[in-house]
Amino acid sequence: MMELCALDAIADGGALALIAELEGHRHPLVLVRRGNQVWGYHNRCPHFSVGLDFRPGEFCTYRRQMLMCAHHSAMFRFEDGHCVEGPCKGSRLDAVPMRVVEGRVVLVG
């Protein structure tokens, strides 16, 4: 397991950008949080393969439940990355398995 950040580094209902080394390559990730749960995804919209942030590391979240692509307004659920609205409706973000251990977010796998 690789430690990514403290749980408190991610605002409750918010998102955080990170770069993680996966299988020997650096990947931009976005972590979203609700309470004590954290989900991680590759920071790439499935519609047009661009980052989800509107400025580097700055994301839009809607009602602390959805991550919004800043470029196409696609809306992705925190818990499964499924797109429920926008040009890529029905697709999903590429998940990266993680969990919270003693207040720290760790990459699993």
- Tens place of pLDDT per residue across the chain (109 aa): 899 999 999 999 999 999 998 888 999 999 999 999 999 999 999 988 889 998 999 999 999 899 999 988 999 999 999 999 999 999 999 999 999 999 999 999 7
**Which pTM does this prediction carry?**
0.94
DSSP 8-state secondary structure symbol assigned to residue 58: B
The number of domains in the chain is 1
> How far is residue 85's CA from residue 8's CA, in Å, rounded to a whole number?
29
Amino acid type, 80: D
Domain of residue 72 covers 2-107
* Residue 10, domain CATH: 2.102.10.10
Backbone angles phi, psi at 53, to 5 degrees: -80, 150
